[in-house]
Structure 1
Amino acid sequence: MSSTISESQLEARLLAEARARRQAFWHSLLALDARLAAELHRLPPDEWADVAALAAYPQLHTHLKALRQVDAALCQWQLGLYGLCSDCEAELTPEQLWQDPCRQRCAPCEEKYRKAQHGAWEL
């Protein structure tokens, strides 16, 4: 991707990613529990990941994580903070955001976050 990625292109890419992640979640939930899927359909999509009844389906864990990521990115967009590392506030490049529209951290902060999440110790 060229370094001339526009803000409107990034917004369109983020919205497309949100649609794709929500659709994947929806189809997986529908196959597991059509009644719960119908109930969720009445809620705004940004509230889906917060529904407690979904905890009964561990097979949806990956989808729920993806929904939370896209919801966070959309919230950052609305607040004018999209493209800033959520830890150190360094600017992410348009190319990084194009590759992963839900990216939350710069490379150094992402490494620290992963180590903290996985309990990795440096010797």
Structure 2
Amino acid sequence: MSAPTSDTFAQQLQQLRSDLIEQIRQQRGGQIGRAEAAGDRHDVQSGDWAQFDGERDLAMALDQRETEELSAIDAALKRIANGSYGYCSDCEIEIPAARLHASPTTLRCLACQERAERASGESHATL
């Protein structure tokens, strides 16, 4: 992948990273985690433990999703730095720029991604 193209994706990824971090800060309203904030907002003494548990579980799931998204962005930035960005991790062909624009953290070309999803679905079906 050419340097100007890599720079374009690096800028896109940096912007995604900044936006996500800002979103997390705004949602948390400070330094505490979303699960703690949900607990602070809810009067558990009212006896509505089911609602509290549901809010806490949702907050923890959102935290995990955001952490995974940040990790994927950071991994993509590392691939740009080491020159492997834009190449399929399975078959090593160049991933089309349109796919990278749509999903800048992707690791695979479309064909390999579909194969991986089918294999993952098959392994889940056997569980």
Question: How much has 1:80 moved relative to structure 2?
Answer: 0.7
Cα distance in 2, alignment partners of residues 86 and 103 from structure 1:
9
Residue 103 of structure 2 is aligned to residue 100 of structure 1: yes
Question: How much has 1:120 moved relative to structure 2?
Answer: 5.5
Cα distance in 1, alignment partners of residues 73 and 124 from structure 2:
26
RMSD: 2.7
Asked if structure 2 preserves the Cα contact closer than 8 Å seen for 1:14 and 1:74, the reply is yes
State TM-score, norm by structure 1. Answer: 0.62
Deviations 1:6-57 (A, max 9, x none): 44322211221222233334444x25x83469xxxxxxxxxxxxxxxxxx93
Once the two structures are superposed, the pairs formed by residues 1-123 of structure 1 within 5 Å of their partners are 6-28=5-27, 30-31=28-29, 34-35=31-32, 57-118=60-121, 119=123
Asked if structure 2 preserves the Cα contact closer than 8 Å seen for 1:17 and 1:101, the reply is no
Question: How much has 1:72 moved relative to structure 2?
Answer: 1.3
Uncovered stretches (5+) of structure 1, i.e. residues with no partner: 38-55
Cα distance in 2, alignment partners of residues 69 and 8 from structure 1:
17
Uncovered stretches (5+) of structure 2, i.e. residues with no partner: 35-58
State the number of aligned residues: 97
Which amino acid in 1 is paired with 2:116? Answer: Y
Compare the two structures and name the one with the higher helix fraction. 2
CA distance 1:60–1:116, change in 2 (3 Å): farther
Of the two structures, which has the highest relative contact order with CA contacts closer than 8 Å and spacing of 6 or more?
Answer: 1
State TM-score, norm by structure 2. Answer: 0.60
